[in-house]
Structure 1
Amino acid sequence: MLVLWCMCTVFKPYLGHLPVYHEVEKTTLICDTSKRRCETCEMRGDIRIKGNSSTIFLFSSHFGNASRTIKPYARKGDESAMKRVTTFNIKSIQEEGETMLKCTKTHNLPAIVFSVGGYAGNNFHAFSDVIIPLYATSREFNREVKLVVTDNSSWWTSKFQELLHKLSRYEIIDIDHENEVHCFPSVVVGLGKEDTKELHIESVKNFTSFLRSSYSLDRFTAINLTNSLSKKPRFLIVSRSKTRAFMNIKEVVHAAQDSGFKVIVTEINTNLTRVSRLVNSCDVMMGVHGAGLTNMVFLPENGVMIQVVPLGKMDWLANTYFGEPSMAMGLKYLEYKISEWESTLIDQYPTNHQVLVDPFSLQRKGWDVYRTIYLDKQNVTLNITRLKETLSRALELLHS
C-alpha cells in the first residue's frame, strides 16, 4: 500500500493529462473522396449539428480550426443532380465558445446524414442513389442509428417509410426544418457506394432479401414450370399513360394469354407496399424502358424481366440501368428491341430524318435533347409475331 501511495504521488501530475490523450484517441475526422460516385466523411467525438444551418461542428482541442464541404448524395460528378443537393460545411473548432453551440438534444447513438435531393424523386434514382447506398452504409449499425435527412419531401419519406424503419428504429430527423442543436458521438456524412454500377452493390441478393423481409413478401423464387405444369405463370405488364405507352395493349395482353400466362396490367403508383406485393406475386414482368421497371427488385429470384427497348440506340442505357442489375439480382433477363416501324416516331418524322436514321447525332446534342425526343415523345406498337417469340423464350426460362 505504501508503494502504491508513493507511485500515485509521483505520477499524479502526469495522470492529470490522461483525459487529453483519451480525446486524441476518440476524436477523428476521416473523409474519403476517392470514389467516383460519392464522398463520405466519418467523424467521432463531440459532434453537433445545428438544424436549418447545414453546418456540422466537431469540437477538438488538437485538430485546430478548419473546415471542409461535402454534398451527401451518391452521384458525384453529375452537375445537374448535385446542384439540387444541399452542401454541408464541416467545421472543426479548437476552443468552445459562441461558435460552438450548446446541445439542445443529445443522442447516444451514431447518425447518418444524407440527401434526398438530386434525382431522388425518380423511382430508379431513389433506389440507385439513396436506398441502396443507405442500406450499405447503415446495416452495420443494426438499426441503432439516427437518420438525418436533408432536402426532404414528406411524400418521399412516406413512400419509403417501411424501408427506412427497417434501417433505423428511430424517427427520422428532418434537419432542414428545425432549430435544435443535435449532438452525437459519431456521424457519417454521405452514403458510400462500392462501385459505379446502377442499382447494384456487392451484396445485392442480400439487399433483395432485405426488401422481401421489409414488406413481408412471401415468394423467394418464381414458379418452376417443370414441376408446376398445371399452374399458369403470372405475367405483369407495366403500363404507362403519358409516354412510352403500349399503343396496342389489348393485342399484347391477348398474345400473352394465348402463350399460357395469367396477365395483369398495371400502371405503377407510389404505394410501395401494394406494388411490392403485386410484383412479388408475378413470375414475369414486362415494360418499356423507364423508372417503373425499377420495381423488378421485388420479383422473386429466377423470375423473368423483359425490357422493351424503344428506338434511339439505347443499348447501353437499357443494359446499364436494368439488364446487368436484374441478372445480378438472380433474375432472367430478356430484351425486346423495337424496330422503327413499331415506334410512333415514324409518324412524326420523315423516314430519312436523323431521329430515325442517326440517333447518335441527337445524343451528341446533349441529354435534354435526346430525352425529349426518344423518351418523352415516343410510344410503341409491338409486333405481335415478334412478341410471341419473346414470350416463348420467357416460358423456356421458367422451365429451367
Structure 2
Amino acid sequence: MKSKSRLTTAVICFGVLVLVLHVPLTSFVDRIWFSETITCDYSNVYDLCAINGPALLEPITTTFFSMDPTNLIMTPPSSFIKTRPYPRKTDKTAMSRVKELTLSSTLPDVWCGVTHDSPAVVFSTGGYTGNFFHEFMDGFIPLYITFNSIFLNHHQDDIILVITDYKDWWSRKYEELLAHFSRHPIINMDNENLTHCFPSVIVGLISHGPMIINPKLLPHPKTLLDFQAILQNAYSQDPDEIPSSQRPRLVLVNRNAKVGRMIMNLEEVIKTANDVGFDVTIFEPARNTSLVESFKLIHASHAMLGVHGAALTNFLFLRPGSVLMQVVPIGTQWLSDSYFRNPARVLGLEYLEYKIKAEESSLAERYGANDTVLTNPKAFTRGNWKHMHLYLKTQNVKFDKVKLKRYLKNAYRKAKIFMDKES
C-alpha cells in the first residue's frame, strides 16, 4: 500500500511539473529521473534539473534543498543528486572546470536568509568561458533557449540568475546583455554566505547544438534572429544612426600569432581589399574590448572578413544582407560549417567562403604540400580532438593574391548591393 501511495504521489507531482514548466509530456517520458520533488532530464548534451516548489540555496555546501513539507514523510534522508550546470556534459575538459552542485529533497536544517519572489536559473561560467565564441554558444544562447522553453508565464527579466564559477570580468563585459535577461542582481554562489529561498529553481541550461536555436523545440518558435534582436537592444546606442558611406565598409578580423591562424600577408590583403573598392577597418578584439563599440563598428559595416576563429562570433552584430566572408584553413571545414556558415544563413547574411589550399597554409612548409596532414585531415586526426591542435594552433595562412582578389571582387559586389539598398 505504501509503495502504491508513493507512486501515486510521484505521478501527481510529475503532472504538476509538466504544467508548471509548460513542457510537453512526451519530452520527459522515458528520459527523466525523478523523486517526489526533484526532476532531472539526462537525455541531451546537457543535464537539466528542477526543484518545482520552494527551494533553499545553502551556498557554503553548494546545495539546493527542496522545501516541500511532504519530504518529512515521503523522502528518505539520502535522496539527493549531483550535477554540473554547463551544457557540454560529454566534454571532460570543459566539465572539469565546472563546480558540482547538489540537489537534495531532505529538508535543510537552516532558515532562509533572503527570500525571493522570483524563480532562479542556476548555471556555470566555468567551462570554456574566456573564449568569446563559447561565451555565446555555451552561455547566452542556451540561456535564451532556457528562458523561452520554461518561463512562459513570467516577464522575461523577472528571473534571478544564480551563477557558480563566477568571473567578475565576465559580468562587467556583458553587463548590458545580462540586464535583458534579469532585472535582479546576480547571485554569485562562490562569494555568498547567506542562504537564499526561491519559489522554484532550474539548474542547468538547454542547448540545441552549436550556435543553433531550433524553433521546433520551443513552445513559441524562436530563431537566432530573435536572439540577435536582443543583442541589438542591448548594444545599439542609436540604431537609426548608421553613417553614410561612399564605399562599402569591410571589417577585417585579425588574429595574432599567439593564437594561431594568423594572416601572414596582412598588408597585402588590406591593399587588395582597398583596391577592389572597400574601406577597410582592422578589428582585433580582446577580452576587455567594449561590446558597445564592437557592435557600433560591425553593425555599421557592409562586410566582414576573417579566418575561422572565436572573433568571427561578432558576425552576430552584422545586419541581414551584409556579407560574411569566412576563411577556412586546412582541417577546419566541419567547424566552419557548424559554427559560422549555418547560423550566418539563418541570420540572412550573404555568406562567402574562402578555402585555404595546401600552398596557402604554413603547414606546407613543415610537412610538404602532399603530406596527409594537408591532403586528408580526417585521416590524420582520426576523430581525435587533440590532433586538431595542429590545425587550430600552429597553422597560419598566406593568401594567393590572384585568388584573393577574385573572391574580394565578389564580396564587394554583394556588399555594394547591400549598401545601395540600405542607403
Q: TM-score range by the shorter chain?
A: 0.7 to 0.9
Q: Does 1:205 align with 2:225?
A: yes
Q: RMSD over aligned Cα, in angstroms?
A: 2.5
Q: CA deviation at 1:329?
A: 1.5
Q: CA deviation at 1:28?
A: 4.8
CA contact 2:37–2:66 (8 Å) conserved in 1:
no
- For residues 69 and 300 of structure 1, the distance between their equivalents in structure 2, rounded to whole angstroms, comes to 42
Partner secondary structure for residue 147 of structure 1:
strand
- For residues 117 and 236 of structure 1, the distance between their equivalents in structure 2, rounded to whole angstroms, comes to 30
- For residues 68 and 239 of structure 1, the distance between their equivalents in structure 2, rounded to whole angstroms, comes to 45
Q: Does 1:76 align with 2:50?
A: no
**2:55 is matched with which residue?**
47
- For residues 46 and 135 of structure 1, the distance between their equivalents in structure 2, rounded to whole angstroms, comes to 24
**2:218 is matched with which residue?**
none
- For residues 331 and 291 of structure 1, the distance between their equivalents in structure 2, rounded to whole angstroms, comes to 18
**2:325 is matched with which residue?**
306
TM-superposition CA deviations, 1:345-399 (whole Å, max 9, x none)? 122223443323332233127212221x111111111112111221222233332
**1:116 is matched with which residue?**
125
Aligned amino acid, residue 233 of structure 1: P
CA contact 2:141–2:211 (8 Å) conserved in 1:
no
Q: Does 1:343 align with 2:343?
A: no
TM-score scaled to structure 2, two decimals?
A: 0.81
- For residues 387 and 200 of structure 1, the distance between their equivalents in structure 2, rounded to whole angstroms, comes to 33
- For residues 235 and 244 of structure 1, the distance between their equivalents in structure 2, rounded to whole angstroms, comes to 20
- For residues 179 and 121 of structure 1, the distance between their equivalents in structure 2, rounded to whole angstroms, comes to 26
TM-superposition CA deviations, 1:155-187 (whole Å, max 9, x none)? 122211111111111111110222211111111
Partner secondary structure for residue 167 of structure 1:
coil
CA contact 1:222–1:303 (8 Å) conserved in 2:
no
**1:288 is matched with which residue?**
307
**2:402 is matched with which residue?**
385
Q: CA deviation at 1:46?
A: 2.2
Q: CA deviation at 1:208?
A: 0.4
CA contact 1:222–1:301 (8 Å) conserved in 2:
no
Change (3 A) 1:282 1:145: same
Partner secondary structure for residue 56 of structure 2:
strand
Q: Does 1:216 align with 2:236?
A: yes
TM-superposition CA deviations, 1:308-331 (whole Å, max 9, x none)? 01122x221110111101111221
Q: Alignment partner for residue 137 of structure 2, among 124, 128, 148?
A: 128
**1:262 is matched with which residue?**
279
Aligned amino acid, residue 291 of structure 1: A
Identical amino acids, percent of aligned pairs: 38
- For residues 333 and 315 of structure 1, the distance between their equivalents in structure 2, rounded to whole angstroms, comes to 14
Partner secondary structure for residue 52 of structure 2:
strand
Q: CA deviation at 1:127?
A: 0.1
Partner secondary structure for residue 295 of structure 2:
helix
Q: CA deviation at 1:42?
A: 2.4
Q: Does 1:396 align with 2:418?
A: no
Q: CA deviation at 1:222?
A: 9.7
CA contact 1:111–1:146 (8 Å) conserved in 2:
yes
Q: CA deviation at 1:342?
A: 0.9
Q: Alignment partner for residue 189 of structure 1, among 203, 207, 210?
A: 203
CA contact 1:222–1:283 (8 Å) conserved in 2:
no
Q: CA deviation at 1:247?
A: 1.1
- For residues 214 and 281 of structure 2, the distance between their equivalents in structure 1, rounded to whole angstroms, comes to 30
Change (3 A) 1:220 1:289: farther
TM-superposition CA deviations, 1:103-140 (whole Å, max 9, x none)? 11111111110011111221111100111111222354
- For residues 376 and 156 of structure 2, the distance between their equivalents in structure 1, rounded to whole angstroms, comes to 51
- For residues 354 and 340 of structure 1, the distance between their equivalents in structure 2, rounded to whole angstroms, comes to 11
Which structure has the larger Rg?
1
In the TM superposition, 1:1-400 aligns within 5 A as 28-34=37-43, 36-63=44-71, 64-65=75-76, 66-93=79-106, 96=107, 99-138=108-147, 140=151, 141-193=155-207, 195-202=208-215, 203-216=223-236, 218=238, 231-242=246-257, 243-270=260-287, 271=289, 272-312=291-331, 314-364=332-382, 366-371=384-389, 373-398=390-415, 399=417
- For residues 346 and 220 of structure 1, the distance between their equivalents in structure 2, rounded to whole angstroms, comes to 47
Aligned amino acid, residue 39 of structure 1: D
Unaligned runs of 5+ in 1: 1-20
- For residues 237 and 137 of structure 1, the distance between their equivalents in structure 2, rounded to whole angstroms, comes to 34
- For residues 239 and 379 of structure 2, the distance between their equivalents in structure 1, rounded to whole angstroms, comes to 45
- For residues 350 and 385 of structure 1, the distance between their equivalents in structure 2, rounded to whole angstroms, comes to 22
Further displaced range: 359-368 or 171-180: 359-368
CA contact 1:222–1:302 (8 Å) conserved in 2:
no
Aligned amino acid, residue 160 of structure 2: K
- For residues 135 and 212 of structure 2, the distance between their equivalents in structure 1, rounded to whole angstroms, comes to 10
**1:6 is matched with which residue?**
none
- For residues 188 and 395 of structure 1, the distance between their equivalents in structure 2, rounded to whole angstroms, comes to 47
- For residues 141 and 241 of structure 2, the distance between their equivalents in structure 1, rounded to whole angstroms, comes to 21
Partner secondary structure for residue 280 of structure 2:
strand
Q: CA deviation at 1:190?
A: 0.7
Aligned amino acid, residue 58 of structure 2: K
TM-score scaled to structure 1, two decimals?
A: 0.85
CA contact 1:102–1:181 (8 Å) conserved in 2:
yes
- For residues 253 and 88 of structure 1, the distance between their equivalents in structure 2, rounded to whole angstroms, comes to 50
**1:16 is matched with which residue?**
none
CA contact 1:233–1:282 (8 Å) conserved in 2:
yes
Further displaced range: 326-335 or 77-86: 77-86
Change (3 A) 1:92 1:221: farther
Unaligned runs of 5+ in 2: 1-11, 21-35, 216-222, 419-423
